[in-house]
Amino acid sequence: GLFASQDISNVLEPSCGDGVFLDSLKNLNLLDRVRKLTAVEIEGDEAEKVRGRYSGFGQVTVRTEDFFDYYGRERFDLILGNPPYIRYQYLKESQRKMQSQILTSHGMKANKLINAWVAFLVACVQLLSEKGKIAFVIPAEILQVAYAEDLRLYLADHLAKITLITFERLVFPDIEQEVIVLIGEKGEEEKGIRIVEMSTLDDFAGFKL
């Protein structure tokens, strides 16, 4: 899986919420294989809860910060999570500016249709180390809507291998829209894009990257 390589030492979760991805890593005994994990969360009370739960893990740092402010400070071997789905009109002016800057500086158009998850994804691809991997739960609209064409081209240009995992039915009850799992890998050898359809999350048990 994502931890098959020995090169995963610096991990980022850019919008950790209540820490569900961190909990999964801990439950799978994968935290022990990470030298450093940075979790960023803008909501102070959520960040504090996660910080309290992981105070005994020296490799875990929880930052109470807007990811758009944190962006650009270091490179990561693995970035994972569920970026926030925030419409343009609900972003603060400073966030709108940063989102536009992230998109336009990477050759994409910025407009009022673009949801915050798009800028999170573009920014995180930029933060990957030379063989880094990204795993994000994102809306399935990336496959369909016209405004995501820029994003699809960007991902194809910046990732050597892309796996899109789709689901036959809604699999995350608390996310009321169809989602996919995007797994991207940097590297020198182009391996292209593949799409895998799964019935349920149980199918992950036998899944090979």
Band (113; pLDDT cuts 50, 70, 90): confident
At residue 136, does pLDDT exceed 60? yes
* The two structure tokens encoding residue 193: 């894009």
The pTM of this model reads 0.89
Q: What is the pLDDT of residues 32-74, one digit of tens each?
A: 889 999 999 999 999 999 999 999 999 999 999 999 999 988 9
**Percent of the chain clearing pLDDT 90 (strictly above):** 63
* The two structure tokens encoding residue 72: 């650009």
